[in-house]
Amino acid sequence: MTEHSQPVETSQPKRLRRFRLIPMRFLLPNLVTLIALCLGLTSIRYAVDGRFESSVLAILAAAVLDGLDGRIARALEGATRFGAELDSLADFVDFGVAPAFLLYFWSLHNAPGIGWMAAMIFAIACALRLARFNVMIDDATKPEWTSHFFVGMPAPAGAIVAMLPIYLHLSYFDMPNSPALVPYVIVYLLFVAMLMASRIPHFSGKKIGRVPRESYMPVLFGTAVSLLLLWQYPMEILIAIVLLYLGQVPLAMRRYASYVQADLEAKAATEGASEAG
């Protein structure tokens, strides 16, 4: 009886799939975004515990990190679609949900029905603002000058501006946190929500990155003084920042309108030249 040979295995065993190494330049911006998200969630916890000043500071710190993560990604050439989506989700929590909870637990709970509705409207306006930003960022047909503007109030600015009543309460002005003032807080919060969801243009600071050489020392000195004042009188400086920011909105609208008018005149001139030819 002959011995039958076993079939020879011709295929090589599959190699275990190795983990894909991701460069640090992609991880670092997302790590900053996650830290900002943690600050937003911590702000909600502070609001529930009644630690309103700590809640405000957590949101402000999240806003600072939100301004850094994009710049870090561009500087390291580590911008990704994943990072953009993560940043948008973190912004909704940090600047939509967290301020809404903070204002509700601070004052709006005195009018539970309409107060909670105002808080939800603010959060929804933030979500709509972020969704529109994500859609418009891929629009290749918009003029180049539009990069100098935001369409609607940016989410971080909306959160900082919306907390103005809390700044007034915690500052030297010591505005009382009484149920009688709740209607005014609601009207103000809805006003900020309208600015976020609207198409009103706001100046963009994303182009700010370099200063003229002759202005280096004044800018450095002014920045140092501003940081010292912010450290010593945080709520008073935040009140001034909010008022200045709201004051520049009409200037941004006028500047935006001038760009639109210039585009219309250029288009009319081009059409007139083509018809004459």
Domains belonging to the chain, first-starting first, are: 24-267 (1.20.120.1760)
Q: pLDDT tens string for the chain (277 positions)?
A: 444 444 544 554 555 455 566 677 778 888 999 999 999 999 999 999 999 999 999 999 999 999 888 888 777 777 788 888 899 999 999 999 999 999 999 999 999 899 999 999 999 999 999 998 888 876 667 778 888 889 999 999 999 999 999 999 999 999 998 899 999 999 999 999 999 999 999 988 765 656 677 777 887 888 888 889 888 999 999 999 999 999 999 999 999 999 988 888 887 777 766 666 5
pTM, rounded to two decimals: 0.86
Nearest CA among 220, 225, 70, 245 for reference residue 163: 245
Q: Tell me, what's the pLDDT at 17?
A: 55
Q: Tell me, what's the pLDDT at 1?
A: 44
Q: Where are the alpha helices (DSSP H) in 49-154?
A: 52-76, 81-92, 98-106, 112-136
b/e map 177-186, b = 16+ CB within 10 Å: beeebbeebb
Placement of tokens 């920045």 in the chain: 223
Nearest CA among 91, 192, 101, 167 for reference residue 132: 91
